[in-house]
Structure 1
Amino acid sequence: MDERDIEMLLALKKTRNITQAAGQLFINQSSLSKRLHNLEQRLQTQLVIRSQHGIQLTSAGEAAWETARKTDQLNHQLQTTLMRESQVVCGSLNLGCSINYAQYALPAILVTFQHQYPAVRLNITIDYSRNIYQQLLSGTHLDVGIVRGEFNGPLQQTMIKNETINLICPTAADRSHLDKLPFIQRQTDSHFQDEMTTWLASNQHSAFNHQTITVNNLTSCVAFVDHGLGWALVPEIALDHFKGYREPLLLNGQPFCRQTYFMAPTNLLSAPVVEAFKNTLI
């Protein structure tokens, strides 16, 4: 198997879907199917079973995937060894990043990183923080992650951002009659949701005593408030272009904040490419 075969098997195992795997590899579905057929021809065995619900690896496919996974790990170890010897940071870095951080902060960081380390190949997965965290724990796809919120576990964590939570509404005058405006809530992790619920209760606000608008992302939440549709509680990271009223909040007498962490398994922290990326972040 060559490097493209390894990437294909890892993507198929992760997604269990031909179309999604092709998208992850930035090729079309027919090209991936042809590549898979060619590998099956060379190995003289069937590697996947197709169904209406996606694909499933055969026993031979599982064996091929395990070989691909181990080969990929050995390649990473070799790259790390060679980087240490040459003192040139190169190779690849599989980065997972939370959706909001990827939208508002990551692009500028990547510009700096690629300028300083042009020989590094970045493979970036953007997803909800809880999914990034689980992928890091599994150790099968990601090397490092940027995760928002609190997650307890064996991964090494370094805080890279501590931002205030703000009450936002269209105008300062609206602040005094929030009960007459819809509360715009959004999907978020359970820890932050609990903190928002605590703040609402302690300040005698209820998200459900009047009309509520629910959205599935932070950008829409801020845009809705900016257009006069209601009020919300949002982190500072999303407010660079917000034109309405904002007010930093307290929770239990302390600044109400939202943390973002750089996370990685302990055994990868000394890898030159990981050290380089971490230093760029902080």
Structure 2
Amino acid sequence: MATLDAGVLGRFGRTRTAPAPVLARRKPTRRRLGPGRPIPFGIAVGPVLLIAAWVIGSASGALDPETLPAPWTVAETAGDMISDGRLQSNLLTSVKRAGVGLGLGVVIGVVLALVAGLSRIGEALVDGPIQIKRAIPTLALIPLFIVWFGIGEEMKLLVITTSVAIPIYLNTHAQLRSVDSRYVELAATVGLSRWGFVRRIALPGSLPGFFTGLRLAVTIAWLALVVVEQVNATSGIGYLMTQARTYGQIDVIVVGLVIYGLLGLFGDVAVRAVERRALSWRQTLGD
């Protein structure tokens, strides 16, 4: 303890000591809830691990090549199909079918969702048939579509379109119905027209549901394509798989499955990229 000099003692009458330092309490760091920042290229981790397990299983002999060919065998088969042009021509046909069906289904689903979501009369007319179609599997409708439209491209596109329109309608309609009523009151206060309300409030407010439905629709489009291309088709990846099944070419079947899987994965990645840009204003757990 340090003692002050005599002048200071005479003035204050006693010795003072320096105050003990006050230890500042550290605020406990709070962990952020949620998944945190996304892992770069995290979507590829699962497929890479799946391929690695396939390679290890084939190399170790755990997988019977007669049941599931090795990855290098499948890659060699795909190379042969590319060299003779079979893969490119049939892949282009499949992509065209899925793209046209997806586009038509998205437009129809959005229009029906707007009709049902913005009008009570429209909802009474539209929602019931949509729910009925939702309960009927696509496979159950194919025999009826064949009777009505034959086995040509019209039947295939109709199956894909009707399958795609359902998730687009359901998710967009649900989001329209959940638009904050305060925005509706604000639109009435500022005197927005019907079209102005749809363009400035209804459509932007329904975008989160629309993109959720679009992600489902992309996957469903490929699933419907797999089905219709194995029904009296003369081209497409499904046609190649059907021919391979007839001749016992398992490696060709696996090539087709890999292509369908990659198309679905890349389609989902593309939709999510557009969704992040379109909904950049929205804060989510993954941000």
TM range (shorter): under 0.3
Which structure features the higher share of strand residues?
Answer: 1
Greater C-alpha Rg:
2
TM-score, structure 1 as length reference: 0.23
Which structure features the higher share of helix residues?
Answer: 2
TM-score, structure 2 as length reference: 0.23
Asked which structure has the greater RCO (Cα within 8 Å, sep 6+), the reply is: 2
